Structure 1
Amino acid sequence: MAAIISAVLLGLYLLTVEQLPTKFSPTTIQLWVCAIATLAIFPVLLFTQDRLFPYSVKGWLFVISLPLICQVLGHGLLTYSLARLSSAVVSLVHLLEPVFGSIFAWAIFWERLSFSNWVGFAVVLIGLYLAVSSQAAVHLSQNTVESG
């Protein structure tokens, strides 16, 4: 159930952020996304955690690096790409995350990938190819109708 809710919210996020660059800069969009996420998560943090701030330097490094790498770099690039690409293409590229994550885990940490992992990779890549090629065909046919 959580995965379905997460998928729906990610889809809504992509569709919303795709429309915003006509009115706001990617930096402004990211600032508001971070502010809204902070306001939404802060009450949960207050009620579920026994302490608010880390005690060690290592803890602070994690607390600082997580938003810098994930939010600023990851979501910043996502917002920037939505200003130039459609949300359909960006959401399709999101399907590559588990594929690349598994391949990196195999290459870096010597994780063992099962036959079903490789079948899943093939299904994702074939589906991605079919979706992108069908969108290219739709754009090609629309351009042909407009010019003819």
Structure 2
Amino acid sequence: MAGGQSNTSGDSRGSSSGRRPSRGAGRFFGVPKKCWCGELMVTLTSKSDQNPYRRYLRCSFAAENKWVDEALLNEVDTLLLKNARLEEVINEMASKSVFERTETEIMATVEDALAEASAKMKNTMIVVVIGSLTLVGMMGVMCLMRN
């Protein structure tokens, strides 16, 4: 479509079938502010019989043209893709947050269980030491009583 529209009657050859152009070399998508040559794009209105009053963008130097409605559709498509990517990022972040929260809860439970087991182990060791000392003491008393 580039180079096909004009603001003179009957000279506009743009596509009005509703199909959007495919990506190609030198093509741009979205609403261009500047032409590839660096000149600003100007919005004009077609006066042709095929596309009456249809707005298009034109560079006065390179004679590049683009229909405004197609440029806006391209812009919407681009924004939809960006939104889809952002939704994926948000979903990943939410999943990561849930995972980290669950991991933190599990770690806290494990630490509590470890502290409880450590306390039980200390109590068991104290009982064993006291029992051993009692046994040694009793054996000493028995030895003294025999003599």
The question of a shared fold, defined as TM-score above 0.5 by the shorter chain, is answered with no
TM-score, scaled relative to structure 1? 0.28
TM-score, scaled relative to structure 2? 0.29
Q: Higher relative CO (CA 8 A, sep ≥ 6), structure 1 or 2?
A: 1
Task: Choose between structure 1 and 2: higher helix proportion.
Answer: 1
Q: Which has the larger radius of gyration?
A: 2
Task: Choose between structure 1 and 2: higher strand proportion.
Answer: 2
